[in-house]
Amino acid sequence: MQLPLALPRTLDSTAEFSACLNRFFTTPVADAVLRWSFPHTARADLLAQAQGIQTPEAFQHTYVNPLFERILAQTSQGLSISGLDELPRDRKFLFLSNHRCIVTDAALVSLNLLSSGRGTCKVCVGDNLMAAPGVAEMMLLLNGISIMRSGSRREVYDNAKYVASYLAQQIQEQRYSVWLSQSPGRTKDGNDRTAAAIVKMLGMQGQGLRVDYEVLHIVPVTISYEHEPCLVYKVRENLLRQASGRYDKLPGEDVVQIRDSLVNDKGRVHLAFGTELQLEDVADTDVVQAIVDQTDAQMALNYRCWGSNRIAHALLNGHPVDLQTPYARSFMDRVDEQLAQLEQMGLERHVARSALLQVLAQPIVNAQRARSGEAALA
């Protein structure tokens, strides 16, 4: 089925899935994925194996799981998970997630849901990622649904309303859980904050009342990287926005950052599934703000603050910190390398240093604020 321009692109039939899979295997992105995941298997054998794949679950088991196993083995010091076993198995959820990496965040949630026997999830993807051949097909094969970010106001509105209804249907009919970023794009400043506009979009499947949100079973998800794989790009964008009030992406920048987010060092990675939001005592007029506040609080408290975050926070605030430990020396070497890259991009070192440390320190600031809020309510 060819969807109208204002409606999202997603795969809801075997025929659509098979056509998309065949297109994917004609792209350079597919070649790169296959070489990385199966370096000792002939391409012809891999293509023959693909003939029996007809669902996102089968695609993930066959191709994506091996890819991310290699990615994590070669670019991280391991993945830890908390909270998933505490969630009921008899329902689907809307996982409202912080967003640090273009592909990895959603992929790790989806793959861990699948490996735990809960099935995969629908992944909401900005339409900016659907323009690059290979990337678009890969996102759709990962059970993606495209959300329009550009177009006429009417088109964007129609798209948002359709997406909200579609996602609610997936959850209420027990088809799929859903992964959705808490904001329209990745956090660039380390400050994981839920956009009210995202929450309001979810309410468009009804009247925006409390009951319209309760049926979604919203659960915050927090992913924490010891080393942000695309930190240099984020700092550059932050500083250019501060200087000019805008930031124009370079051609192909999303694809470059997808590549770097996959192959750059991540250190330790933690994926924290929170608890379902409690909305039963919330008035209809307050429900959007309640969802924002509860989500932000859970994310701040569930974020795994690493040594990299603590050292950055100490340096930024003039607190004493021992920089002679092996960990601290390694961290400072990494910072020096990143600052050298930013200097090559034309940014002043001392300005870039403060911006870089701020991104890393922000989760500690958020956790302190959240704990203060808890104490105030106690």
Q: Are residues 263 and 342 in the same domain?
A: no
The whole model's pTM is what? 0.93
Question: Under a CB-based contact definition with an 8 Å cutoff, are residues 217 and 94 in contact?
Answer: yes
In a domain, 67, yes or no: no
Phi, psi of 171 (to 5 degrees): -75, -50
Q: Are residues 252 and 316 in the same domain?
A: no
Window from 11-15, 37-41, 248-252, 275-279 with minimum mean pLDDT: 248-252
Tens of pLDDT, residues 188-219: 999 999 999 999 999 999 999 999 999 999 99
Find the Cα–Cα–Cα–Cα dihedral 85, 87, 88, 90, rounded to 10°. Answer: -100
Tens of pLDDT, residues 224-259: 999 999 999 999 999 999 988 888 887 778 778 888
**Strand extents, DSSP E, 252-357:** 267-273
Q: Are residues 314 and 183 in the same domain?
A: no
Q: Which of 303, 322, 352 is the last residue of a domain?
A: 303
In a domain, 128, yes or no: yes
pLDDT band of residue 12 (cuts 50, 70, 90) is confident
Q: Which pLDDT does position 220 carry in this prediction?
A: 98
Determine the distance from the C-alpha atom of residue 362 to the mean position of all C-alpha atoms in its chain, rounded to a whole number.
18
Q: Are residues 276 and 323 in the same domain?
A: no
Reported as type and span, the H/E element at residue 360 is: helix 349-377
Domain residues for the domain of 351 are 309-377
In a domain, 26, yes or no: no
Reported as type and span, the H/E element at residue 169 is: helix 153-172
Window from 102-106, 130-134, 156-160, 316-320 with minimum mean pLDDT: 130-134
Q: Are residues 89 and 207 in the same domain?
A: yes
Total tally of structural domains belonging to the chain: 2
